[in-house]
């Protein structure tokens, strides 16, 4: 079975992606999310990732570097592109270093993310690093994976992770 490095944003989306990919790939989950704010949120999501992975093979880069993140994103409407690029660039590099020919991301699970932008960015970073990017729309597994997470009592976040998304979420509630 072909190895696939799976950049993972959170435990619930990892469960969803496993449903979509486990029949065709040997999945190696990869944690790299310097965008998540605040630090306690970062730790909660990392712990949920570890809970889903258990004793299985995974790669963790627990770098929490807000300066790196803020330098990567543009202020305004294009910030998601910079955030995607930061995480997918690191994922492509890790795949190459680990001898894994293909990578993808759990961001392709979410109905709230820009799938075409993620795929374009992933392909560009894959070409740069010399590895392939799997652009597979996995949104059909979103609800099932998230229900599994609820059944497990796994931490379920309410925003993508960045401070901008958190602000937008709470501003809407007012």
Binding residues: 9-10, 80, 83
pLDDT tier, 13 (very low <50, low <70, confident <90, very high otherwise): very high
pLDDT of residue 66: 83
pLDDT tier, 131 (very low <50, low <70, confident <90, very high otherwise): very high
pLDDT of residue 70: 80
Binding residues for [4Fe-4S] cluster: 9-10, 80, 83
Higher pLDDT, residue 35 or 74: 35
pLDDT tier, 174 (very low <50, low <70, confident <90, very high otherwise): low
**The model's pTM:** 0.91
Residue 159 pLDDT > 70? no
- Taking residues 44-62, what's their average pLDDT? 94
pLDDT of residue 81: 87
What's the CA gap between 79 and 127, in Å, rounded?
22
2-173: CATH class: alpha beta
Which pair of tokens denotes residue 69?
């993140």
């Amino acid at each position: 079975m072909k190895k696939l490095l799976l950049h993972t944003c959170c435990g619930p989306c990892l469960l969803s992606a496993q449903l979509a990919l486990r029949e065709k790939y040997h999945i190696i989950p990869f944690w790299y999310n310097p965008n998540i704010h605040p630090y306690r949120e970062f730790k909660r999501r990392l712990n949920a990732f570890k809970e889903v992975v258990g004793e299985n093979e995974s790669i963790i880069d627990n770098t929490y570097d807000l300066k790196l993140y803020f330098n990567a994103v543009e202020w305004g409407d294009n910030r998601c592109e910079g955030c995607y690029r930061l995480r997918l660039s690191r994922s492509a590099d890790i795949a190459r270093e680990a001898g894994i020919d293909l990578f993808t991301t759990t961001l392709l699970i979410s109905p709230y993310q820009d799938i075409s932008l993620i795929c374009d960015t992933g392909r560009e970073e894959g070409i740069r690093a010399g590895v392939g990017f799997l652009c597979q729309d996995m949104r059909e597994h979103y609800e099932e994976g998230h229900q599994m997470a609820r059944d497990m009592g796994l931490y379920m976040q309410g925003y993508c992770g960045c401070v901008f998304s958190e602000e937008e979420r709470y501003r809407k509630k007012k």
